[in-house]
Amino acid sequence: MLGGESKERAIHSSKLLYLLLITSISLNLYSFSSLLPFSSTPEPGWTAPASTEAEAVAAIQCSGHGRAYVDGIYVGGVPVCECNTCYGGSDCSEISPDCPADADSGDPLFLEPYWMREAAGSAVVVAGWHRMSYRINNDAAAISAELVKQIRRLHSAVGNAITDGRFILFGAGSTQLLNAAVHALSPDDPLSPPAKVLASVPYYPVYEMGTTFFNDRENRWGGTTSTWANKSDSSAAGEFIEFVTSPNNPDGSLKRPVLNVSSVITDHAYFWPHFTEIPAPGDEDLMVFTLSKLSGHAGSRFGWALVKDKKVYDKMSKYIMLNLFSVSRDTQLRALKLIKVIVDGSKVGGKDIFEFGYSTMNDRWRRLNDVVSKSNRFSLQSLSPQFCTYFQTIRDPSPAYAWLKCEREEDEDCAASLKAEGIMSRGGATYKTDGRYARLSLIKTQDDFEQLLQHMVALVSKEGGAQVI
Amino acid sequence: MLGGESKERAIHSSKLLYLLLITSISLNLYSFSSLLPFSSTPEPGWTAPASTEAEAVAAIQCSGHGRAYVDGIYVGGVPVCECNTCYGGSDCSEISPDCPADADSGDPLFLEPYWMREAAGSAVVVAGWHRMSYRINNDAAAISAELVKQIRRLHSAVGNAITDGRFILFGAGSTQLLNAAVHALSPDDPLSPPAKVLASVPYYPVYEMGTTFFNDRENRWGGTTSTWANKSDSSAAGEFIEFVTSPNNPDGSLKRPVLNVSSVITDHAYFWPHFTEIPAPGDEDLMVFTLSKLSGHAGSRFGWALVKDKKVYDKMSKYIMLNLFSVSRDTQLRALKLIKVIVDGSKVGGKDIFEFGYSTMNDRWRRLNDVVSKSNRFSLQSLSPQFCTYFQTIRDPSPAYAWLKCEREEDEDCAASLKAEGIMSRGGATYKTDGRYARLSLIKTQDDFEQLLQHMVALVSKEGGAQVI
């Protein structure tokens, strides 16, 4: 018989042995299962390395003027900070003196802080075997049914488009869908004259660039709508395809077709409460939207079209199919997560991306307006407060772009004059209109906007010889 | 003075209070920080919800005949199993009787088990704010420098392409790059006759479908190379663009250009050790590769081109730019992770995807060959063992597709005869050749292959009146 202490020791030893045995069995099972080629369920904890990596990279400090990415350039085992314009140094803390303000591109980084705040809800883990197939549920168009459902919920929550009785089509960005739409609306009959593709000035130049570059036998760029609006014989000139951008890029005005033609492509890229009032849901035959200006994810290249006519939808689908088969599943997965966060957060205090987007854009517009209103040299497009069905209130303007006019006679090339003063813009000529205008992007990072404002303040101050702010 | 028990209780209470206080402070800090709009570093643990979700979905049991995805259709709070062909039921355990074997599409799911096994290494976490910009490091082409580096490492490790002195261009799948290449190699001069786009039979039909559908003024489909090979006056017929697919889809043979023309597009989709020996690195002027047939991620839509000529590269870049601006950052991030796993695992025992891919494909080819060799009704393309510079040994064949010939006089339409016996294939007419041929895909799931083999066994057994296996 064993004494008390010995007994305890024996129990302890046997417990230890048991534990070792269990550990050993688990380890063996682990090694064994890792050798099995067709194990259909991965080991628990398989997401840990990716999570650890992502959190480590997110914790890299870039002084609030940049960020590091997991797929950035690695130096010394960690990815480098990628700094905002005019910032440099290993942690983006150094501002370069005399750096021009870059208000050129429509890069929607104003929403980046929203997604950093919503980090936990908006992250996705992509498994190595995630949707490898060409198809989804044996459908070659490979359109995620859940994503379609969320897009319909989104338009219904925002009230900016009617989705009932419309086909939904995905593209790798809205640009691709716009090209697909031009092709689909062009005549099928090779003996028909090519359709003329038109837009109203000032217009987004990519419509013309795409139509001209792809050089489709079935259509050609036809210039501006004003050329045809007053011609009584326009009906004899063959078919027309009119681009309508609403709100318009660059000037933010809500637009309607100018010509009474059957083929209209409505580009609703900016038709979100960030940028404009929503007077009523879009109800056009062919509407195109993009994630880029909704969530700010320009880099994801995701757009969708709402199409009434089955024949047009089929031809657009064939275009997408022969161009890229279908939109990347990685992109669709991410778009699903982001749109879910947006819809679930809409009208929830502090969670609503449109509240966030609107207040940011309105703040920028107000501050720029304050400066420009003190100037005789510059003026801005006139936008007035309007009732918005989304916010259920009259809202002040918050356009994506300032459409600046240089009022002085010598400033015929407004963009050049701005450039000489250290402000990068896009001149009126780009939008096929008077060079006295220039587009200033207000949707970039806060740093970009502050630099633009500083430069504008300095410029306007020079007019009166005193500081305006 | 307190008694022992009371003292212990008091200590316990104060500990509890302290704990509550700490918890409360943490919660307050958390709420406070979650209200901060411009917090540039997310809270630690932000990846946890996405990880939990991904692991929970990966653990859903689909009997080894399907899998659930995080973006699947949710029923009762969990995504449903998406079953392999011929399997059904909530856990994919039910096999449908008399289900035809589907050997039609080139869906590369044979590599799915590899990625399930490499789960921990191949997962990626995509943060909500990951690469929202149109640009990467201010470059509008937005090509990840790290991904370019890994692609060069990959070709060097596999020895299947020379990347030195080549520009690298990304596309949303190789199809898009093939279209871009046709456009880029077509004449710039509008007065030149359109270039004729050609391929050698049997050829992948998408070349012709794309060229015809996009209907570019600068080129048109010109038919098969054999039409022009024997014409002495072909040089007077204008410019030619020749597609060369090597190894060829459908028959797996390594190919070279037939015509002596300057513009050749080499489609190297299948030029990986899974499917063919690598006799020497590809050194052509314009080579196109795709992730789809390398890693099996057809759904990610990622391809790349290696281009020697700067002018051709520039025109292809412009095509991609006006088509979709740049390839989705979500796709680029995933491609980077997958290619890293491939390169780091190459020639590492049990880790090498090419070992895995080759042994799977070779096993399928051998087993199908065993059956067909007992038949008088069918034959397969003849492929012989060849030295492979990657494996440094003579390897048996392992083609992606079986190019089956129906030998009986009455089987003029081989695909139709197979269909009548429950086998879905792609007939010779699709590849612009004799209908006596049909392509059987060997790269789909193991289930698909087993069903194909069972049907072939049954079919061949009928010939002799006895079981062949």
DSSP of A115-164, one letter per residue?
Answer: HHHTHHHH-EEE-TTTT-SS-BTTBTT---HHHHHHHHHHHHHHT-B--T
As a whole number of angstroms, the distance between CA B434 and CA B427 comes to 8
Amino acid at the residue B194? P
Distance CA A330, CA B103 (A): 26
Phi and psi, residue B378, nearest 5°: -125, 155
Q: What residues of A are in contact with residue B72 (Cβ under 8 Å)?
A: 146
Question: Do the Cβ atoms of A330 and B325 come within 8 Å?
Answer: no
* Contact assessment for residue A425 and residue A386, using Cβ atoms and an 8 Å cutoff: no
Asked if B107's CB is within 8 angstroms of A336's CB, the reply is: no
Q: Answer whether B334 sits within 8 Å of A126, measured CB to CB.
A: yes
Predicted confidence at residue B10, as pLDDT, reads: 46
Report yes or no: B210 and A322 within 8 Å, Cβ to Cβ. Answer: yes
Distance CA A101, CA A109 (A): 15
Please tell me the distance from the alpha carbon of residue B84 to that of residue A171, in angstroms, as a whole number.
Answer: 27
Query: Does B146 sit within 8 Å of A73, measured CB to CB?
Result: yes
- The closest of B49, B57, B68 to B125, measured between CA atoms, is B49
Report residue A395 as tokens: 């809202």
Name residue A240's beta-bridge partners: A196
Closest CA to B66 of B51, B81, B46, B86: B81
* C-alpha count within 13 angstroms, C-beta hemisphere, residue A69: 23
Which candidate from B34, B58, B216 shows the least CB-CB separation from A42? B58
Choose the closest CB to A129 out of B115, B127, B215. B115
| Chains A & B: contacts with CB separation below 8 Å | 371
- CA closest to B58 among chain A residues: A41
The average pLDDT across A410-417 equals 97
Token pair in block for residue B457: 């066994």
When pLDDT is averaged across residues A214-220 and rounded to a whole number, the result is 95
Asked if residue A2 has pLDDT above 50, the reply is: no
pLDDT of residue B232: 56
Question: From the CB of residue B29, how many other CB atoms can be counted at a distance below 10 Å?
Answer: 11
Q: How many residues does chain A have?
A: 469
Q: Which of A108, A177, A179 is nearest to A143 (CA)?
A: A177
What value does the mean pLDDT of chain A take? Answer: 91
**Are the beta carbons of B48 and A48 separated by less than 8 Å?**
no
Answer whether B173's CB lies under 8 Å from B302's CB. Answer: yes
- Rounded distance between C-alpha atoms, residue B443 and residue B274, angstroms: 10
Q: Are A335 and A294 in contact (CB under 8 A)?
A: no
Residue A24 has pLDDT above 50, yes or no: no
Residue A40 pLDDT:
64
DSSP string, A253-304: -----SS--SEEEEE-TT-STTTS---S-B--SEEEEEHHHHTS-GGG--EE
Out of B297, B301, B325, name the one closest to residue A175 (CB).
B325
Question: Which member of B137, B299, B322 has the closest CB to residue A142?
Answer: B299
Per-residue model confidence (pLDDT) at position A395: 98
Smallest CA–CA separation between B31 and chain A, in Å?
Answer: 11
| Residue B52 three-state SS | helix
| Residue showing tokens 């760029």 | A221
Torsions phi, psi for B263 (to 5 deg): -105, 105
Which run of H or E residues covers position B57? helix B48-58
What element of type H or E holds A394? strand A393-395
DSSP label at residue B185:
H
How many CB atoms lie under 10 A from the CB of residue B255? 17
**A411 close to A374: Cβ distance less than 8 angstroms:** no
Chain A nearest CA to B328, separation (Å): 5
Residue type, B200: S
Q: Do B125 and A121 touch (CB under 8 A)?
A: no
Q: Do A119 and B43 touch (CB under 8 A)?
A: yes
Instruction: Report d(CA B246, CA B266) in Å as an integer.
Output: 7
What does the pLDDT read at residue B234?
A: 54
B132 with A298: Cβ contact below 8 A: yes
Q: Which of A328, A342, A361 to mutate to test the interface with B (most CBs of B within 10 A)?
A: A328
Residues of chain B positioned with their CB less than 8 A from the CB of A114: 37
Residues of B with Cβ-Cβ distance to A215 under 8 angstroms? 216-218
Q: Is the dihedral of CA B142, B146, B152, B154 positive or negative?
A: negative
User: Burial of B410 by CB count in 10 Å (0-12 exposed, 13-18 middle, 19+ buried)?
Assistant: exposed
Cα of A164 to nearest chain B Cα, Å: 21
What residue in A sits closest to B66 (Cα-Cα)?
A: A40
**Nearest alpha-carbon partner for A335 in A367, A294, A364:** A294
Best-predicted range by mean pLDDT (A229-243, A330-344, B6-20):
A330-344
Which residues does chain B have within 8 Å of residue A128's beta carbon, measured at their own beta carbons?
Answer: 115-116, 118-119, 121-123, 337-338, 341
User: DSSP per residue over A11-55, as a string?
Assistant: HHHHHHHHHHHHHHHHHHHHHHHHH-TT--SPPTTTTHHHHHHHH
Residues ≥6 apart with Cβ < 8 Å to A441: A103, A104, A105, A106, A107, A400, A401, A426, A448
pLDDT score at B170: 98
Determine the residue type at B111. L
- Chain A environment of B99 (Cβ under 8 Å): none
- Asked if B132's CB is within 8 angstroms of A108's CB, the reply is yes
Whether residues B297 and A132 touch (CB distance < 8 A) is answered with: yes
The token duo for A172 is: 């790798």
- pLDDT beyond 60 at A412: yes
Q: ipTM, 2 decimals? A: 0.91
Q: Determine the pLDDT at residue B5.
A: 53
Quickly state the pLDDT bin for A232 (edges 50, 70, 90). low
Interface-testing mutation among B46, B81, B91, B148, with chain A (most A C-beta atoms within 10 A):
B46
Task: Give the three-class secondary structure for B73.
Answer: coil
Partners of B356 on chain A (C-beta within 8 Å) are: 37
Contact between chains at A120 and B338 (C-beta distance less than 8 A): no
Q: Which residues of chain B have pLDDT under 50?
A: 1-3, 10-39, 466
- Write out chain A residues lying below 8 Å of B341, CB-based: 128
Chain B residues within an 8 Å CB radius of A206: 322
Of A208, A234, A219, whose CA–CA distance to A183 is shortest?
A: A219
Q: How far apart are the first and last CA of chain B?
A: 92
Tell which of B75, B130, B207 to mutate to test the A interface (max A CBs under 10 Å).
Answer: B130
Which positions in chain B touch A47 (Cβ < 8 Å)?
A: 47, 50-51, 54-55, 120, 123, 125
Best of B111, B323, B337, B338 to substitute, by most chain A Cβ atoms within 10 angstroms, is: B323
